[in-house]
Structure formats: C-alpha cells, structure tokens
Amino acid sequence: MSKQTYKVCFCFRRRFKLAVAEAPEEIKALFGQYSENGLMTVDHLRRFLLEVQKQDKATIEEAQAIFDHLHELKHLNIFHRKGLNLEAFFKYLFGDANLLIDVNRGVHHDMTAPVSHYFIYTGHNSYLTGNQLSSDCSDVPIINALQRGVRVIELDIWPNSTKDNVDVLHGRTLTTPVELIKCLRSIKEHAFSASEYPVVITLEDHLTPDLQAKVAEMITQTFGDILFSPGSECLKEFPSPESLKKRIIISTKPPKEYLEAKEIKERENDLQSGKAAPDEEAWGQEIPDLKGHIQTDDKNELDGDNNDDEDLPEGDNKSQHFVAPQYKHLIAIHAGKPKGGIEECLKVDPDKVRRLSLSEQQLEKAAETHGKEIVRFTQQNILRVYPKGIRVDSSNYNPVIGWMHGAQMVAFNMQGYGRSLWLMHGMFRANGGCGYVKKPDFLLKSGPHGEVFNPRAKLPVKTTLKVKVYMGEGWRNDFHRTHFDAFSPPDFYARVGIAGVPADIIMKKTKTLEDNWIPVWNEEFEFPLTVPELALLRIEVHEYDLSEKDDFGGQTCLPVSELRRGIRAVPLHDHKGEQYKSVKLLMRFDFV
C-alpha cells in the first residue's frame, strides 16, 4: 500500500468517528455549584433559573415541569429519581425548553394603538414564485407568506388577455398570470393560519373602470363580513390591530376618475353659486382624456409600485361615474403620491391618514435631507418601502433603513433568500410572530417643542450585549457526512454580530476549529448598542474551505429586545429560513 493511499484511508476512517457531546468546563462548574453529590434537585434547578438564567419569576412548578419533561427521556439513562445528573442538565440546556426566545410568551406588545404605530410584516409582488421577469405567478407563494406570518400581501392586477376578467401578474414582463379570484380565495383560506391580526391587501391597479367594478364584486363576495370597509372617506386615524383581528383590509390608490369627477362636480357647484368665474380653456383641461393612458414606462413598472404615479386607465367617462364609487368604498387605507416634491409627499394632514410608497432608492435619498420629516409623517401615516426595479433576481435591501425612519411596511420579496431576508425573518420573530411589532416610543412621540427622533444623530451607548459562544451540535444529524468535506470532519467557525442603526452594525468571528462535528469555541464578544430597540442579533456558522467558498452551516437572526439572559439554546436555520431539526448553538447572554 502506498503512503498516499494510506493517508486517504486514515482520513476516511476518521471521518466516521463521531465524538460524544461533552459539556464545556464552565457548564460543569455551574452544575457543581447548583447540585449536591452529583445530582441537581428541583430546588437547585429553581435557584439556577433565578440566579443564572435571570428568570425573576421562576417557580418550583416551572422547575418541576422541566424535571417532568426530562423524565420522559429516561430511556436515555439521564434521569435519577432524586435529581438531574450532569448529562440530564446538559440535555436541558440544549433543549427546546431553554430557547433564547421564549416561544410560549406569545403576543405581548400593546395591540390597541393605531396600525401606524407598528412595523408590519410586508411582502412585495407576493404572487411571484421566483425572479421578477420570467417566473410563474401563483397563489402558492402567497399561502407560504401567510403561513409564515406575513400580514401585507401585494397583488398587481391587470386585465386578462380577453379584457373581460382580472389576472395577477408582473406587468410587461414574461411572468405567467394567475387569476385574481384564485389569489383572493387562497388569502381568505390562509389569512389567519399563523396570526389572527389583520391582513392588508395592497393592490397595484392597472384596470379599466368596468374591471374595477368586477374586482369590487370579487372582493365583496369572497371576504364578506371579514372585509373592513370604512366607506369612501379617508380615515382620520387608523384603527388598532386588536380591533381589526381576523379582518381583511384593502389598500390602493383611489380611482383617479372618481376623484376627478368629484372635482368637476365641485367646480360646477362653485360656478353655479358664483364662487368661481368660468374659464373655458381651463375647464376643458380639467375634463380628463381617458383614452390610451396606460403607462408604458417599463422602468417605473419594474420599480414595483408605480400605482402611485400611474395615468388613468382606459374606459369611457360615463361608466366611470357609475362604477368607481363601488371600488372606492372598499379602500380602507388610501394610497397615493401628492404632486410635487418630497415636502408635499411628507405633509401631515391632521384630518386624514394615508399610505405613501417610496422605493428603497427614494427613501435613501429622502432620508439624507428629510429624515426627521419622514419620522414625523410615519407617526400617523403609513410609509411603504419597496425594492428597486433592478432587483430582478428578487433580492432585497437593508430593512433597518426603513424601520429607523418609522416605515411600517418595509416590503420584501419573500420568495428569495439571503441576509436581508434573514433580518426580516428575525424582526418578525418578535411579539409572538404575529406579524405586528410595536414601534419604539421614540419613533411615536414628539418632544415639547415638536421635535422628533433624528435617525442621523450620533447617540450614546444605551446598553452593551455580552455574548459567549460555547459550542454547537446537530450537524451530524442534519447534514450528510460528506456534505462539508469528503475526507474529514468539518472545520466550523461562528460569526456573531448586530444589524441595526449604522453605529451599531458589526460582525465578529470565532476561531476555526478543525475536524470536529461538535465544535467547542468558548469565545466571548461584547456589542455596545446605541439603539437596542432596533438591533437584531445575527448568528451564522460556516465551514472553512481553503480552496473554495466557505460552506454554509446555518444562521439565525433575533430581535435583541426579545433575548433572554443566561445560558440558552439557539436553533439555526437554513438559507431560506427553515429551522434545522437538530443544529443548535449553546450560548450565554447578558446586558451590562
């Protein structure tokens, strides 16, 4: 046998040798501190919960419930009738009863404030199965989004090929359509499968008045009593998520032809009453030419929200006066961009609330000069931010830019994946995963002289998050034995950091541990936070590869505001955000 062959055989043999998880020294020391004669009693465990896990309200009953759960695992020979041994204690620390976020906490934010006081889990082009140019349109991604807890579904509605019905598709692209009625029925069936809080349907409307009337009929018949319809007038203040439980809300721009007809009627009244002098030339210009005004600007269409700027749909003037009000009465959240610059867009009307949409680029540009005005606008009104048009691969952008300015609807392509989407998943793990997260008070309140939060201000450190990465396990169960390396165990390292306001953004990295399916890093990091309310903890594990791109080994993203102190199990997720069955990290958290 040659030397080279011997080396390969040695690695091959080593690859299948799986080490038994052994508790880090710090865990062993803590067990010694909270046990007697090698056993941890219920009283010991309760003291551990109070003192190490900082669970101030931990009871004997809670400690007993942990015991009872572990007792069910007695076939693993880790339970003693008088208490837990080290292995049982270690099993508890890595188990689902000790997760970093308390999954049993449920909804715990005040849900009685106006909807504008919440960040809302928002989808963009919710019907697309893949890229923005050629993927299929379907109700399946809509169902998937609703099951994940997404609360805002966007539908682009267009006349079908025969102009007698309504399809959902990304206009002027090669995307194949899906019937609107199919999407509406799927929304009704799945709207409240993950959360009972309201679902908003944002419509990008490219229809004739007759088809708008058809949509009004479809929506009314499909949703019936669960549809929230306040009438044709704009709301003075948005209702609360609590008051809108299990309701469907429609948001779109009111039909222009209805508004213009209303303006003409008002002008007629003014003329009859002598309030205004007739101006034949101006009068003629006010009556809209409604033929052939469908927008042909492909770039605007790709920007995804051109409904706020669209020209009038085709149709004859008479029919508009009759059918538009039916459609308009369904609109609970009125959208639209006022004519003029960003100042006009951000004007706050004390008598009515509305929704404004900006692309990610428009927001970034506006934030440079009008950051405080955006925050003031979003205290009462809704701001929706959507991906720029060149994201044809359905990628996303940094959502924190929108959130730090108070934007409620930071719209994302949910069918893709990547770090930006992981942040979105992380934010909406807050508040029981209900899809509504109460905005921090500093984004909702004005000072005594009308001053508001300045997103560009340099702020002092408010708190410091201390994180210790002990170890990880579970890859051997969830990945094929040759997934990372054909001839040896993986070489894992962890990345831990913060996503948030610019001053808080940072990523740190552990050392790489070679040839180990169960890496034990025992490394500690500190993260000073100026705006912890908007901070997200980012965790990733990768496998170092000398010759190629490092392999992905899992990720998670969690709101700092939801983290539990103490030693916690942290489940990791795959690229698309689905949780692995076994892969977890053991970590310790504290705020100083």
Whether the Cβ atoms of residue 436 and residue 149 lie closer than 8 Å to each other = no
End-to-end Cα, the chain, rounded Å:
60
Position 326 scores a pLDDT of: 84
How far is Cα 470 from Cα 510, in angstroms, rounded to an integer?
Answer: 10
Q: Do domains 17-93 and 115-443 have the same CATH topology?
A: no
pTM for the full predicted model: 0.86
Residue range 115-443, CATH number: 3.20.20.190
**Parallel, antiparallel, or unpaired for β 248-252 and 199-205?**
parallel
Task: Give the helix ranges, DSSP H, for 309-448.
Answer: 317-328, 342-345, 360-378, 400-403, 419-427
Q: What DSSP element (H or E) covers 280?
A: helix 280-286
pLDDT tens by residue, 422-450 = 999 999 999 999 999 999 999 999 999 88
Residue 183, both tokens: 């999407």
* Phi, psi for 441 (deg, rounded to 5): -55, -35
Residue 11, both tokens: 């690695």
In CATH, 17-93 is 1.20.140: no
pLDDT in tens, the chain (592 residues): 443 433 334 343 333 333 445 789 999 999 999 999 999 999 999 999 999 999 999 999 999 999 888 877 655 455 556 789 998 899 999 999 999 999 889 999 999 999 999 999 999 999 999 999 999 999 999 999 999 999 999 999 999 999 999 999 999 899 999 999 999 999 999 999 999 999 999 999 999 999 999 999 999 999 999 999 887 678 999 999 999 999 999 999 988 754 554 454 555 555 555 554 333 333 233 323 323 332 333 334 334 444 444 333 444 444 444 445 689 899 999 998 888 899 999 999 999 999 999 999 999 999 999 999 999 999 999 999 999 999 999 999 999 999 999 999 999 999 888 999 999 999 999 999 999 999 999 999 999 988 999 999 999 999 999 999 999 999 999 999 899 988 899 999 999 999 999 999 999 999 999 999 999 999 999 999 999 999 999 999 999 998 889 999 999 999 999 999 999 999 999 999 999 999 999 999 999 9
Q: Which fold has domain 458-592?
A: Immunoglobulin-like (2.60.40)
For the chain, the domains span 17-93, 115-443, 458-592
Whether the Cβ atoms of residue 399 and residue 124 lie closer than 8 Å to each other = no
Rg, C-alpha atoms of the chain: 28
What residues are annotated to the active site? 124, 170
CA 342 to chain CA centroid, Å, is 26
